[in-house]
Amino acid sequence: MQGFETFDHTADIGLLARGGTLAELFENAARGLIDLSVDPGGLRGEIRIETTVSARDREALLVAWLNELLYLLDTQRFLPRQSQITHISDTHLAAALLGDTVDPARHTVRRMIKAATYHGLSLRHVDGVWEARVILDL
């Protein structure tokens, strides 16, 4: 199963993520966000960060999760090479992130993503697969 792919959107970019579990869906959404931001092949796994995110429902939790990763990138220049969801419910998640400080001298920066948005947001479980669509503001 492909974990993520992108789709065209007028001025922004769409991210479609899938997973066999809700945790896998969130991990694949993180992988998609990272892949759109920086060539992940250059990221090292030198820094470990644990984080938690809360929101009012599953859809809002996905937006909050992706925006937490963008917050870490904006404030600490940190981007995970790998994320592991250690706990997830409909309104809360905990994750362990293993990654690197993004350095344009060492990394190929692909694009700057401002935020994950609620526009066109969907998250559903169909035929045993979790699938989410989210528009990323560029």
Cβ–Cβ < 8 Å for 78, 100: yes
d(C-alpha 94, C-alpha 124), whole Å: 21
pLDDT truncated to tens, each residue of the chain (138 aa)?
569 999 988 889 999 999 999 999 999 999 999 999 999 888 999 999 999 999 999 999 999 999 999 999 999 999 999 999 999 999 999 999 999 999 989 899 999 999 999 999 999 999 999 999 999 999
What would the DSSP string read from start to end of 6-29?
Answer: EEE-SSSEEEEEEESSHHHHHHHH
